[in-house]
Structure 1
Amino acid sequence: MDIGVVLQCDPPALRLVDLAVRAEALGFSHVWTFDSHLLWQEPFVIHSAILGATRKVTVGPMVTNPANRDWTVIASTFATLNDLYGNRSICGIGRGDSAVRTLNGKPATLATLREAIHVIRELANSRYADYGGRRLRFPWSHGSELELWVAAYGPKALELTGQVADGYILQLGDPDIAAWTIGRVREAAEASGRDPMAIKFCVAAPAYVTKDNSPESMALARDQCRWFGGMVGNHVADLVKRYGTEGEVPAALTDYVVGRAGYDYNDHGKVGTSHTDYVPDEIVDRFCILGTPADHLAKLEVLRQIGVDQFAVYLQHNDKRATLESYGENIIPALHPPVQAIEDITSTHLQSEAAISNPHSR
Structure 2
Amino acid sequence: MQFGISFGALYAPTERIVKLAKEAERYGFDYIWLPDSQLIYRDPYMNLALIAEVTTHSKLGTLVTSPLTRHPSVIACAAVTLDEISNGRAVIGLGAGDSSVRRIGLSPSTSKQLSEAIDIIRKLCRGEIVDFRGARFGLRFGGRRIPIYVVATGLKMLRLGGSLGDGVVIHSGTNSTLLDLALKAVKEGAEAAGRKIESADLVHMGFCALSEDRLEAYREVKPSIMWFLVRYLPLLKETGMSLSGELIGRVERFEEYSEEHDLHHSGEWEKAMEMASFLPDRFANDLAYAGTPEDITKKIREIESRGFKQVIIRPTSTEYWESTFRTFAEHVIPNFR
Q: TM-score range by the shorter chain?
A: 0.7 to 0.9
Question: 1:184 deviation in Å?
Answer: 1.5
Deviations 1:103-125 (A, max 9, x none): 11111211111101110111123
Show the counterpart of 2:250.
259
Show the counterpart of 1:276.
276
Show the counterpart of 1:96.
97
Give the Cα separation in 2 of the matches to 1:76 and 1:189: 28
Distance 1:258 1:307, change over 3 A: farther
Q: How does 1:141-180 map to 2 (within 5 A)?
A: 141-142=142-143, 144-171=144-171, 172-180=173-181
Quick one: percent identity of the two aligned structures?
24
Contact 2:219/2:277, CA 8 A, preserved across alignment: no
Question: 1:278 deviation in Å?
Answer: 4.8
Q: After the TM superposition, which segments of 4 or more aligned residues of structure 1 sit over 4 Å from their partners?
A: 253-258
Q: Which has the larger radius of gyration?
A: 1
Q: How does 1:1-362 map to 2 (within 5 A)?
A: 1-8=1-8, 10-142=11-143, 144-171=144-171, 172-210=173-211, 212=212, 217-237=213-233, 240=234, 245=237, 249-252=238-241, 257=248, 259-260=250-251, 261=253, 262=255, 263-264=258-259, 266-270=262-266, 271-272=269-270, 273=272, 276-317=276-317, 318-336=319-337
Give the Cα separation in 2 of the matches to 1:269 and 1:284: 18
Contact 2:49/2:82, CA 8 A, preserved across alignment: yes
Q: Secondary structure at the match of 1:64?
A: coil
Contact 1:182/1:307, CA 8 A, preserved across alignment: no
Contact 1:225/1:288, CA 8 A, preserved across alignment: yes
What residue ranges of structure 1 are gaps of 5+ in the alignment? Answer: 337-362
Contact 2:80/2:125, CA 8 A, preserved across alignment: yes
Contact 1:179/1:306, CA 8 A, preserved across alignment: no
What is the identity, as a one-letter code, of the residue corresponding to 2:264?
H
Q: Secondary structure at the match of 1:314?
A: strand
Give the Cα separation in 2 of the matches to 1:322 and 1:101: 30
- Name the stretch that deviates more: 116-125 or 129-138: 129-138
Deviations 1:286-305 (A, max 9, x none): 21223332222111001111
Distance 1:26 1:244, change over 3 A: closer
Contact 2:224/2:264, CA 8 A, preserved across alignment: no
Give the Cα separation in 2 of the matches to 1:66 and 1:43: 15
Question: 1:99 deviation in Å?
Answer: 0.7
TM superposition score normalised by structure 1? 0.82
Deviations 1:32-89 (A, max 9, x none): 1222111222222111111222111111111111111111011100011111111211
Q: How many residues align?
A: 323
Give the Cα separation in 1 of the matches to 2:316 and 2:51: 18
Give the Cα separation in 1 of the matches to 2:5 and 2:322: 12
Give the Cα separation in 1 of the matches to 2:166 and 2:231: 22
What is the identity, as a one-letter code, of the residue corresponding to 1:223?
R
- Name the stretch that deviates more: 165-174 or 63-72: 165-174
Distance 1:298 1:187, change over 3 A: same
